[in-house]
Amino acid sequence: MRTSIATVSLSGPLTEKLTAAARAGFDGVEIFENDLLTSPLTPEEIRTRCADLGLTIDLYQPMRDIEAVPDDEFARNLRRAEHKFRLMRRLGADTVLVCSSVSPNAVDDDALAAAQLRQLAGLASEYDIRVAYEALAWGRHVNTYDHAWRIVEAADHPALGLCLDSFHILARGSDPKAIEDIPGEKIYFLQLADAPQLAMDVLQWSRHYRCFPGQGGLDVAGFLGHVLRAGYDGPLSLEIFNDVFRQADAATTAVDALRSLLVLQESTGVHASPAPVVPTGVAFAELVTTDVEPTAELLTALGFTRTGRHHGKPVDLWEQGEARILVNTGPAARRDGTVLAALGLESPDPAAAAHRAEALLAPVLPRRRTPGDVPLSSVAAPDGTALFFCATRRPELPSWTEDFDPTGQEADGHGIRHIDHLALTQPWHQFDEATLFHRGVLGLDAQDSVDVADPYGLLRSRAVSTADGSVRIALGVGPGPGDDLVRPQHIALACDDLVTTARRFSEAGGHLLSIPANYYEDLAARYGLPEEEWSVYQKLGILYDRDAYGTLRHCYTRTVGRVFFELVQRDGGYRGYGAPNAPVRLAAQRAAAY
């Protein structure tokens, strides 16, 4: 179906918004009145600019407080409307959005509302314009779609129809099923927005917290199904008021926006993207470093062995069990210190996974291949992490490990089995985008987000994972813009016997983050752990958590550059990430940094 986006959803001046929408691949835009008023371009210039960019102007919006008002006020409203109809002709826009009135002067009189809307539509039709009437969730007398439809039906004018907005309908808890009873041709326009479940004042909620479909908690896909069964065939348009998007880069937001419509169409069955190829494990994590010694020391102490060297690039492969870490000291190491720059995702069909990612607008990264390399496709996640789709030593496919010349070194290790999860700090402006990306592009499931107290602000964390937990990524975001560039990332390594692994790490010269004694006294009080147990944990700096399924024991290495490691032992099917212990860990890291 055709896709459209309201200019209010994107940041910057109107011309930047239009360019961003066009480059992302949208077919059209809704022009928000304020964006026109603040633009130095004339309406004719805006029309030309849109045409040059291949965008149609699908809607001009909004007209407010038009209907169900006293005669003299309505006469003024009509004069105002006629000004706007003339403007729309100059713009080349043929549909105008009229929001149900919030004016204190509006009266609760459906017949009057219908008569006045009929008159407005009559005037509009002289300019070949259609009026799309929308029930605002906080409209004074008209605030549900069925009420708006009764008025439109009563007005009975060929230039008057409805605009439906998923937010206004779902946020009030209205049942969208009866949309199917509305003739499709009377649904002039469809606006789609999601929102997190916040249970706040609906006006504030709408103005500040809307997000793209699939990023929030509303059933936008179910809603769209009803609208399509009604016979609607106009554009799917996004109208998102969001405090964060207002500050974010318009080009990035526009791509994110269009991706949300692709995923939405897929889940509603109206558009088939290539099927998701869910990864089955983490093939490797790649550290890029300017400072290889402390990284190598840390990996050695953790029990990793340097098993291979890339045949064409300064990249080492370190292994222990199924955990694999690449250490890259090549030209990509422009940044200071050590960063987690890439993930290899074990894929049942790497080519199909890359195809899916590309279809969902993931930026495909240029291949830094040297002659003889195994072909590897990669895309950039919203935080800039490169995601490689790959196969590791599977007979039917070339393995990325073949690019590494064996060092011949072998070692027993310290009991680390595989990479349990990765914790990646996201740009503040793109946290919701990151979740949708990992769900849509990689086919991971998202868990609820949790707040975690750092000494200097609340962090938000949301895990995405496969159903079996073979791939787990904890997406985190700090309290303000910018700190994603300094906040640590980490790699969690799974073992079966944490006490033994942690001891071996310490004996090999590794330093575990030390945890305050007060924590262990609380552990004793909270879980009744015997002293002989918690005193061992205290000595090593091991934290403990329980959920409904099992227990977690975990501890942390010191930070090298921006990266640290966690060692985790999950028992009995524990599903979480130790979030209750995160404030303790964060405070200890702050203290260690002084």
The residues that bridge with 464 in the sheet, in sequence order, are 446, 473
- Exposed, middle or buried by CB within 10 Å (0-12, 13-18, 19+), for 482? exposed
Amino acid at 4: S
575 sits in which H/E element:
none
Among 39, 328, 401, 538, binds a second copy (CB under 8 A): 39
- Please identify, using beta-carbon distances, which residue of 13 and 550 lies nearer to a second copy: 13
What's the min distance (Å) between Cβ of 304 and a second copy? 31
Strands 160-165 and 305-310: unpaired
Residue 395 engages a second copy in binding (rule: CB under 8 A): no
Among 105, 247, 407, 500, binds a second copy (CB under 8 A): 247
Contact 427, 247 (CB under 8 A): no
Among 366, 395, 408, 528, binds a second copy (CB under 8 A): 528
Among 2, 79, 229, 393, binds a second copy (CB under 8 A): 79
What's the min distance (Å) between Cβ of 501 and a second copy? 25
Residue 111 engages a second copy in binding (rule: CB under 8 A): no
What's the min distance (Å) between Cβ of 590 and a second copy? 7
- Please identify, using beta-carbon distances, which residue of 330 and 479 lies nearer to a second copy: 479
Residue 531 engages a second copy in binding (rule: CB under 8 A): no
HEC per residue, 44-100: HHHHHHHHHHCCEEEEEEEECCCCCCCHHHHHHHHHHHHHHHHHHHHHCCCEEEEEC
Stretch that binds a second copy, among 102-110, 223-231, 409-417, 515-523 (CB under 8 A): 515-523
Residue 593 engages a second copy in binding (rule: CB under 8 A): no
- Please identify, using beta-carbon distances, which residue of 467 and 525 lies nearer to a second copy: 525
Amino acid at 76: R
Among 128, 243, 445, 496, binds a second copy (CB under 8 A): 243
What's the min distance (Å) between Cβ of 9 and a second copy? 13
Residues 6 or more apart whose Cβ sits within 8 Å of residue 146: 174, 178
Distance CA 2, CA 366 (A): 30
What's the min distance (Å) between Cβ of 420 and a second copy? 24
Residue 549 engages a second copy in binding (rule: CB under 8 A): no
Among 486, 517, 548, 593, binds a second copy (CB under 8 A): 517
Among 48, 70, 83, 496, binds a second copy (CB under 8 A): 83
Contact 172, 133 (CB under 8 A): no
In the region spanning residues 151 to 210, those forming contacts with a second copy, defined by CB under 8 A, are 198-201, 204-205, 207-208
What's the min distance (Å) between Cβ of 39 and a second copy? 6
What sections of 269-319 are H helices per DSSP?
292-301
With CB under 8 A as the rule, give the number of residues binding a second copy. 56
Residue 78 engages a second copy in binding (rule: CB under 8 A): no
Residue 75 engages a second copy in binding (rule: CB under 8 A): no
Nearest residue to 368 (alpha-carbon basis) of 301, 314, 297: 314
327 sits in which H/E element:
strand 323-328
Residue 1 engages a second copy in binding (rule: CB under 8 A): no
Nearest residue to 387 (alpha-carbon basis) of 413, 416, 358, 411: 358
Distance CA 466, CA 484 (A): 25
Contact 102, 136 (CB under 8 A): yes
Residue 522 engages a second copy in binding (rule: CB under 8 A): yes
Among 9, 11, 191, 569, binds a second copy (CB under 8 A): 11
CA dihedral defined by 517, 582, 300, 281, rounded to 10 degrees?
Answer: 150
Distance CA 461, CA 425 (A): 9
Residues 6 or more apart whose Cβ sits within 8 Å of residue 423: 461, 473, 474, 476, 489, 490, 491, 492, 566, 577
Residue 44 engages a second copy in binding (rule: CB under 8 A): no
Nearest residue to 192 (alpha-carbon basis) of 231, 227, 148: 227
Among 138, 232, 519, 544, binds a second copy (CB under 8 A): 519
In the region spanning residues 479 to 498, those forming contacts with a second copy, defined by CB under 8 A, are 479-482
Q: What letter would DSSP give residue 16?
A: H
Q: What angle, 0 to 180 degrees and rounded to 10, lies between the N-to-C axes of helices 250-268 and 14-24?
A: 40
Residue 211 engages a second copy in binding (rule: CB under 8 A): no
In the region spanning residues 314 to 343, those forming contacts with a second copy, defined by CB under 8 A, are none
Residue 92 engages a second copy in binding (rule: CB under 8 A): no
Among 246, 335, 439, 511, binds a second copy (CB under 8 A): 246
What's the min distance (Å) between Cβ of 560 and a second copy? 22
Phi–psi pair at 352, nearest 5 degrees: -70, -35
Residue 533 engages a second copy in binding (rule: CB under 8 A): no
Stretch that binds a second copy, among 72-80, 318-326, 332-340, 500-508 (CB under 8 A): 72-80
The residues that bridge with 4 in the sheet, in sequence order, are 28, 237
Nearest residue to 345 (alpha-carbon basis) of 466, 489, 214: 466
Find tokens 């006020």 and name the residue: 73
Q: What letter would DSSP give residue 186?
A: G
- Please identify, using beta-carbon distances, which residue of 375 and 479 lies nearer to a second copy: 479
In the region spanning residues 439 to 458, those forming contacts with a second copy, defined by CB under 8 A, are 451, 453, 455-458
Stretch that binds a second copy, among 52-60, 111-119, 486-494, 513-521 (CB under 8 A): 513-521
- Please identify, using beta-carbon distances, which residue of 91 and 190 lies nearer to a second copy: 91
Stretch that binds a second copy, among 105-113, 270-278, 530-538, 581-589 (CB under 8 A): 581-589
- Please identify, using beta-carbon distances, which residue of 417 and 511 lies nearer to a second copy: 511
The residues that bridge with 318 in the sheet, in sequence order, are 306, 325
Find tokens 């045949």 and name the residue: 311
**Tokens linked to 527:** 């879980």
Among 2, 80, 177, 393, binds a second copy (CB under 8 A): 80
| Positions that interact with a second copy (CB under 8 A) | 11-13, 33-34, 36-40, 42-43, 76, 79-80, 83-84, 87, 198-201, 204-205, 207-208, 243, 246-247, 451, 453, 455-458, 479-482, 516-519, 521-522, 524-526, 528, 583-584, 586-588, 590-591
